[in-house]
Amino acid sequence: MAELLEIADALGARLAKVKDMSDLQAKMAERARLQSLIDVPTFWDDAEAAQGTMKVMGRLNNEITRIEKVEGELAEIREFIELNDPSLVSDLTEKMQTLEQELGSMELLQMFSGTYDQSDAVLSIHAGTGGIDAQDWAQMLERMYLRYFEKKGWKATLLHMSDGEEGGIKSADIEVSGERVYGHLKAEHGVHRLVRLSPFNSNHTRETSFSLVEVVPLLDQLSGVAVQDEEIRIDTFRARGHGGQGVNTTDSAVRITHLSTGLVVSCQNERSQLQNKRVAMQIILSRLQLLQDEKFQSDLKSTKGEYKQGSWGNQIRSYVLQPYTMVKDHRTEHEVSDVGRVLDGDLDEFILAWLTSR
């Protein structure tokens, strides 16, 4: 029983660290504050704001309940250990192994404690230097991320796509919804480099292509961010290829430009111009919130990341198909030889390595 007690003590120490890292007391205070808002009879008068509050409340409930459950199970295990009954050793060992796995999962979640880590996100892909090879590479990245979203069980909605003249894509904007989306995807922000034998020239020479991936959290609640009509330009145009039958018959697609910052967002997913405008404005406002947030300004690299030109020397990750096969993340030095597996959406080990290194 002494050995079991030692294991229980170690689990208790890990649990205490999880509680401290997750700032459990602050989360419980915030839950109480939100509950007081929910109890107000007029709470649902603003349905959109109420839904955002309920979403935060649900997340807080899940986090707090999970910690409390582990705490209760560990206390129960200690009580059984104190009985000093040898017949309980096997059962208690099994229970502590299960508890250790749960704690490991909870420790991993502490990596997603950033301001925006729980938010949904918009992932944008922009073909860089390299002509048609770069545009084809951008489309390969789009496929890779869509496969990754599918593996994670996240919902992906294509907001806008600009096709290349000869093939591939010039750019694509994808809205991604799920658990801790931005917390994961912020690791992907930067320039991605591809080295391969080009399928687009007769000599099949080895070419290097670049694409920029940009990730922005999609914020439900904004603090003090407002945009006046004179600060933006709204252009409408005919959507292409997405949105269902009839999408090409009206100027339903919307492009919003924030004049002072140069931020540009396009949306053509919805069939209604009004809906596309609403989505595009939410993205513009989310980006402006980041620019206004003092914490974001003081730690730019850890949230949205610095803007990087899609060209040589700025890459965060290289994908090499010739003369050997390798994917290497230059920030963490993590690498694998199975490029096909990565391009098929197996990205978690790269994201985990980046989060751990931070």
Tell me the mean pLDDT in the region 288-298. Answer: 66
What are 301-332's pLDDT values in tens digits? 454 444 444 444 579 999 999 889 999 999 99
Burial code of 41-71, b = ≥16 C-beta within 10 A, e = fewer?
A: eeeeeeeeeeeebeeebeebeebbebbeebb
Residue 205 has pLDDT above 60, yes or no: yes
Whole-number pLDDT of residue 323? 87
Nearest to 267 by CA among 145, 175, 143: 175
Residues forming CATH 3.30.70.1660 domain(s) in the chain: 116-358
Ramachandran class of 167: left when φ > 0, alpha when ψ lies in -120 to 50, beta otherwise: left
Q: State pTM to two decimals.
A: 0.70
Whole-number pLDDT of residue 306? 47
CATH of 116-358 given 3.60.20.10, 3.60.21.10, 3.30.1300.10, 3.30.70.1660: 3.30.70.1660
Of the chain, the percentage scoring pLDDT greater than 90 comes to 50
C-alpha 126/C-alpha 120 separation (Å) is 20
C-alpha 210/C-alpha 219 separation (Å) is 29
Tell me the mean pLDDT in the region 82-88. Answer: 89
Between 34-43, 103-112, 173-182, 188-197, the lowest mean confidence (pLDDT) is in 103-112
Give the DSSP per-residue string, 178-235. Answer: STTHHHHHGGG-EEEEEEEE-TTSTT--EEEEEEEEEEEEE-SS-SS----GGGEEEE
What are 6-43's pLDDT values in tens digits? 999 999 999 999 898 888 899 999 999 999 999 999 99
- Full strand arrangement of the beta sheet holding 263-267: 232-237, 253-258, 263-267
Whole-number pLDDT of residue 350? 95
Fold of 2-112: Methane Monooxygenase Hydroxylase; Chain G, domain 1 (1.20.58)
Residues forming CATH 1.20.58.410 domain(s) in the chain: 2-112
